[in-house]
Every structure is written in structure tokens, then in C-alpha cells.
């Protein structure tokens, strides 16, 4: 009963765009059924390609080994010399071609064609961002705890699957893209907590740290931003901006006493 | 004894370039040993990629099926809507990336680097052509039968492995490239005989027919060139030149009575 009421409330929050997206999604689920079949066919084709490769490559190497075992006089026979050179040119080319001939593009085109035929709009980045924004609006309206919401818990009830570290990170990133550092901060903190229990983590810690540090800075906490950026520089020593940002935050702290 | 004498005679035929090529070949055989290992590593990496793909793709489809089984109200829950849209965008992208991420180029580069390190010259098209020419010169000098020679038989003795249909075809093609239609004709005829006993054939009949017909025409046998080109047009109806060539030979036969 409470869950039904909740869904009505949630639906009330969604704006027109999201409703269109929801209708599209409902249609699309049916259209995505063929994807497994196509991917299974692709895997089958790739396995056949690898079997071909193994056969050709082993024959190629086996014949070279035979030639070597005969010794240097092997190639003074012009028929042997011809066969060996042909193997090292024409037949090696064939091995290379089998290696390079990944048929993924053809299979992906089949999937795209199926989607076009089904006449449903496939969601894009803007829809993902819209869905994340709807979650944040819901959170504000009902003052929901970020960790609870990310675990699919609303009003003490489990209403959906929980979000992974990466799912949580993406909600934070949507907030960041809208310069909403308040929500970005909360969701990135939860993302850090989530990946602690993931093996392997669905998102790398250093990716979270950069967003988290910048949001802390934007919310006025330069000292904590500096501390997290130092950790970022330590765990990702080749990060293009980490060291520069450490200096930037340090200069800022020296310039003004916070 | 006879075989040793033969090898000396054969060696006497080879010119300086071929000797360089032979010395290179002897060095190279050792250097090609690593190829199997690298290709086996590639096959292993590709199998791991396909296992990854199967896991991701099945999870992708499994979750979609779950959403569909719940029914249209599934996506009116904003957490579900967000997770579904994320799956259809970010996670689908991951499936696509795994499909497209064939690592062949990296492994081929390893093989090329090994070859460079071994400091031996790898043979090219011109060496293949040189080795084929050496065979033809041998054939002329000792008046050897084409079929015997292609079976590794010289002076009644088996002195090497036999040539496949494709090996034989390539000797004919080398002759063709030097406008030596006399030898091209003989070797293409043997290539046709060879593929009759190959399953699958190492070269397609239609590929042989075009060279064979043109060599017959060059040797003055327009009637037989026409007959083979008609067969070519029949077995390869989409061949870009077959139909035009049939007309060309027909016009020629009408113009002059052969």
C-alpha cells in the first residue's frame, strides 16, 4: 500500500521528457531480446576464427620447424626454397588477416538495424542525465538519505535493486555536470563507500577522488580537497592534473587562512 | 648419391640474389620460433575477451528480461528507470567496446619487433617471384615435366614436398607477371588438376581460369580461351571481366578465322 503510494508520488515528480523516455523504455525492452542471440552468434563466429587461426599458425610453425630440423641444405633445393618463401609471405599474410578479421562491426550493425526496425528511441547520454536528475529531485523532495536511496531503500522499504559504485558515481557526475556540487559531494562520498565492498571495484577510486575533491573545494572545504588530492596523486602518480591541483590547493591555503 | 648431385646442379642454377635470400632464410627459421607462442598468447587473450563479453552480454540481457517480466510499471520507479537507462547507455557501450577490442595489432607488432630484433631480412613478394623464376629455369634446363616437378619429383626421385594447387597457381602467376605465357599456361593447367583432389581447394577454379584463358589466347589458342572464359562466366557470374572477355574472344573469332 505504502509502495503504491510512493510510486504515484514518484511519478508525480517526473516531468514530461522523462515520461516520454519511460514510454520509450517500455517499448524497447522487447526489442532488445534479439541482442543475446546476435552476441552468441558473434562469439561463435569468433571462436571459429580462432580455431582457423590456431590451425593455420600451427601448420605455419610446424613446417618451419621441419625445415630447420633438416638444416641449412633444406633451402638449397629450389622447390623447398620456393615453398618456404611462399609460406613466409603469402601464408603469413593469411595468418595476419585471420588475426585482424574481427567481425564485431558487422554484428553490431545487425543490432543497430534491429533497433532501427523496432522504431523505438534508444536512450542517450541526455536521458541518463535526466534520470539521474529525477533521482536527485526525489531525494530533495523527501529529504532522503543518499546511502539509503542508493541501496534502493525509500521510507525504510526496499523498492528497487541497489546501485553499484559506478551507478552511484554516475549520479554524482550528472550533478557535477550541472554545477550542483552539493549533490555531487554526497553521491561521490557514497560511491567511495560502495567500492570498498566491491571486488573488482566497478569504478576506480582515483576517478571518484578528483570529482570529490573539486566538489569539496566548491563547497568551501579546501583543506579536505587538498588531502584527497594528495591521496589521488599518491594512488595515480601519472594522473595529468593531480600534482598541479595539489600545488593549486596548497597555494590557496597559504594565501588565505581557512 | 644422385640426390646430392642434383642439389649441386640446382645450386649452380641459382644466381647471387637467390643465394642471399637462401642465407637469410636459414637465419630466419630460428627467429620464427617465437611466433607460435605469441599467437597462442593472442588466442588466449581473445578467449578471455569472449568470456568477458559473454558474461557482460548475458547480464545485460538477463536484467532487461527481469525488467520486462515486472511489466510497464517497472520503469515508473525512478531508481529502476535510472538503472535501466544506465544499462542501455554506459553498459551497452562497454559490451560494444569488448566486441571491438581485438588485440591483434598489438600481438602482430610483437612479432614484427621480434623479426626486427633478429636482424634477418624477411622475404617479400619479389623474393617469392625470384624463387618461382628459379623453379622455371630449373624446369627448362632439365626439360622437367610440370606435374612431376610440382609433385617434388625430379629425375624420377622424390626430392621435396609436393606443391598444393595454390602453390602451383602462384608459380604460374609469377610467369604471367613476367609475360611468360608459355610457362603460365603449363602451371595453370597443373593447378586445375591439383584442386580437383583438394577439399576445400586451396585456390578457387575461377581464379585459375582467368589466367589460363589469357595465356591460351597469348599462345594463339583463341577457341580454347573462349571456351574456358565461358566456363568462368558460368561459375563466377559476378566476375567483373568474364562476360566482357567472352564477347571479346567471340568478336576475335568472327573477325579472323582460326
Q: What superfamily in CATH does domain A125-255 come from?
A: Tetratricopeptide repeat domain (1.25.40.10)
Inform me whether the pLDDT recorded for A11 exceeds 70. Answer: no
Inform me whether the pLDDT recorded for B84 exceeds 60. Answer: yes
Task: Measure the CA dihedral A89/A92/A96/A101, to 10°.
Answer: 100
- Mean pLDDT for the stretch of residues B126-130: 88
Query: Is residue B171 within 8 Å of B165, Cβ to Cβ?
Result: no
- Does residue B19 or residue B118 have the better pLDDT? B118
Inform me whether the pLDDT recorded for B49 exceeds 70. Answer: yes
CA distances from A256 to A218, A249, A251, B25, B95 (A): 15, 11, 9, 73, 48
Q: Which residues of B touch A104 (CB under 8 A)?
A: 96, 99-100, 102
Q: What is the pLDDT confidence band of residue A71, given thresholds at 50, 70 and 90? A: confident
Q: What residues pair up with B154 in beta bridges, in sequence order? A: B157
The whole-chain average pLDDT of chain B stands at: 86
Q: Which residues of A touch B107 (CB under 8 A)?
A: 99
- Does residue A51 or residue B22 have the better pLDDT? A51
Chain A residue with Cα closest to B41 = A54
Nearest to B79 among A32, A125, A159 (CB): A159
All three cell numbers of A240, joined, read 595529468
Inform me whether the pLDDT recorded for A137 exceeds 50. Answer: yes
A58 touches chain B (CB under 8 A): yes
pLDDT at B5: 42
Three-state DSSP state, A153? strand
Give how far B68 is from chain A: nearest CA, Å: 6
Backbone φ, ψ for residue B154 (5° rounding): -130, 125
B160 — alpha (psi -120 to 50), left (phi > 0) or beta?
Answer: beta
pLDDT at A20: 62
All three cell numbers of B118, joined, read 633478429
Q: Any idea what the Cα angle at residue B123 is, between residues B45 and B10, rounded to 5°?
A: 130
Give the best-scoring range by mean pLDDT among A155-164, B37-46, B172-181: B172-181
- Mean pLDDT for the stretch of residues B80-109: 87
- Mean pLDDT for the stretch of residues A191-218: 96
Inform me whether the pLDDT recorded for B10 exceeds 60. Answer: no
Q: What is the pLDDT confidence band of residue A76, given thresholds at 50, 70 and 90? A: confident
A251 touches chain B (CB under 8 A): no
Inform me whether the pLDDT recorded for B20 exceeds 80. Answer: no
Contact flag A39-B53 (C-beta cutoff 8 Å):
yes
Mutate to test the interface with B, among A13, A24, A82 (most CBs of B within 10 A): A82
pLDDT at B210: 95
Chain A residue with Cα closest to B74 = A26
Contact flag A104-B102 (C-beta cutoff 8 Å):
yes
- Does residue A205 or residue A10 have the better pLDDT? A205
Give the best-scoring range by mean pLDDT among A154-168, B6-20, B211-225: B211-225
A190 touches chain B (CB under 8 A): no
Contact flag A30-B75 (C-beta cutoff 8 Å):
no
Q: Which residues of A touch B47 (CB under 8 A)?
A: 50
Contact flag B128-A86 (C-beta cutoff 8 Å):
yes
Tracing cell 588475426 back to the chain, one arrives at A99
Q: Which residues of A touch B80 (CB under 8 A)?
A: 160-161
Least confident of A128-132, B29-33, B48-52, B111-115: B29-33
Contact flag B64-A32 (C-beta cutoff 8 Å):
yes
Inform me whether the pLDDT recorded for A116 exceeds 60. Answer: yes
Three-state DSSP state, A257? coil
Contact flag A167-B86 (C-beta cutoff 8 Å):
yes
Inform me whether the pLDDT recorded for B113 exceeds 60. Answer: yes
Contact flag B167-A134 (C-beta cutoff 8 Å):
no
Distance CA(A88)–CA(A60), nearest Å, equals 8
Nearest to B10 among A77, A84, A96 (CB): A77
Q: Please list, in sequence order, all residues whose beta carbon lies within 8 angstroms of the beta carbon of residue B128, skipping any fewer than 6 positions away.
A: A82, A85, A86, A89, A90, B170, B174
Give how far B45 is from chain A: nearest CA, Å: 11
Nearest to A234 by CA among A226, A225, A243: A243
pLDDT at B26: 73
A32 touches chain B (CB under 8 A): yes
B88-120 burial string, b = 16+ CB within 10 Å, else e?
bbebbeebeebbeebebeebbebbeebbeeeeb
Inform me whether the pLDDT recorded for B101 exceeds 80. Answer: yes
- Does residue A44 or residue B28 have the better pLDDT? A44
Inform me whether the pLDDT recorded for A254 exceeds 60. Answer: yes
The whole-chain average pLDDT of chain A stands at: 86
Contact flag A83-B124 (C-beta cutoff 8 Å):
no
All three cell numbers of B157, joined, read 626421385
Long-range contacts of B63-70 (CB under 8 A, 24+ apart): B63/B87, B64/A29, B64/A32, B64/A33, B64/A35, B65/A33, B67/A29, B68/A29, B68/A30
CA distances from A58 to A68, B111, B164 (A): 15, 15, 18
Give how far B65 is from chain A: nearest CA, Å: 7
- Mean pLDDT for the stretch of residues A37-46: 89
pLDDT at A78: 86
Q: Which residues of A touch B127 (CB under 8 A)?
A: 85, 89
Find residues 141-170 of chain A whose CB sits inside 8 Å of chain B.
Answer: 149, 152, 159-161, 163, 166-167, 170
Chain A residue with Cα closest to B171 = A82
Q: How many contacts (CB atoms, under 8 Å) link A and B?
A: 225
Distance CA(B211)–CA(B180), nearest Å, equals 12
- Does residue A72 or residue A172 have the better pLDDT? A172
Contact flag B160-A128 (C-beta cutoff 8 Å):
no
pLDDT at A73: 79
Give how far B226 is from chain A: nearest CA, Å: 30
DSSP secondary structure, chain B, as one string: -HHHHHHHHHHHH--HHHHHHHHHHHHHHHHTTHHHHHHHHHHHHHHHHHHHHHHHHHHHHHHHHHHHHH-GGGGGSHHHHHHHHHIIIIIHHHHHHHHH---HHHHHHHHHHHHHHTT-PPP-HHHHHHHHHHHHHHHHHTT--HHHHHTTEETTEE-SPPP-HHHHHHHHHHHHHTT-HHHHHHHHHHHHHHHHT-SS-SS-HHHHHHHHHHHHHHTT-HHHHHHHHHHHHHH-TT-TTHHHHHHHHHHHHHHS--
pLDDT at A63: 81
pLDDT at A258: 46
All three cell numbers of B112, joined, read 614484427
Which ipTM was obtained for this model?
A: 0.80
Amino acid at each position: 500500500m505504502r509502495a503504491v503510494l510512493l510510486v504515484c508520488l514518484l511519478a508525480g515528480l517526473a516531468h514530461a521528457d522523462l515520461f516520454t523516455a519511460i514510454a520509450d523504455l517500455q517499448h524497447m525492452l522487447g526489442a532488445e531480446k534479439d541482442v543475446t542471440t546476435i552476441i552468441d552468434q558473434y562469439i561463435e563466429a569468433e571462436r571459429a576464427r580462432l580455431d582457423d587461426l590456431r590451425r593455420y599458425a600451427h601448420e605455419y610453425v610446424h613446417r618451419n620447424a621441419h625445415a630447420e630440423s633438416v638444416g641449412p641444405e633444406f633451402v638449397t633445393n629450389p622447390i623447398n626454397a620456393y615453398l618456404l618463401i611462399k609460406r613466409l609471405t603469402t601464408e603469413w599474410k593469411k595468418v595476419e588477416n585471420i588475426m585482424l578479421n574481427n567481425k564485431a562491426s558487422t554484428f553490431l550493425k545487425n543490432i543497430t538495424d534491429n533497433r532501427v526496425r523496432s522504431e523505438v528511441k534508444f536512450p542517450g547520454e541526455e536521458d541518463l542525465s535526466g534520470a539521474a536528475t529525477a533521482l536527485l529531485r526525489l531525494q530533495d523532495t523527501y529529504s532522503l538519505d543518499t546511502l539509503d536511496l542508493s541501496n534502493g531503500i525509500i521510507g525504510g522499504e526496499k523498492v528497487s535493486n541497489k546501485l553499484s559504485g559506478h551507478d552511484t558515481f554516475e549520479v554524482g557526475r550528472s550533478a557535477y555536470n550541472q554545477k550542483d556540487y552539493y549533490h555531487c559531494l554526497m553521491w561521490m562520498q557514497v560511491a567511495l563507500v560502495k567500492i570498498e565492498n566491491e571486488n573488482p571495484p566497478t569504478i576506480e577510486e582515483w576517478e571518484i577522488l578528483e570529482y570529490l575533491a573539486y566538489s569539496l573545494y566548491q563547497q568551501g572545504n579546501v583543506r579536505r580537497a587538498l588531502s584527497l588530492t594528495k591521496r589521488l596523486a599518491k594512488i595515480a602518480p601519472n594522473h595529468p592534473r593531480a600534482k598541479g591541483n595539489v600545488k593549486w590547493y596548497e597555494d590557496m591555503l597559504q594565501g588565505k587562512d581557512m
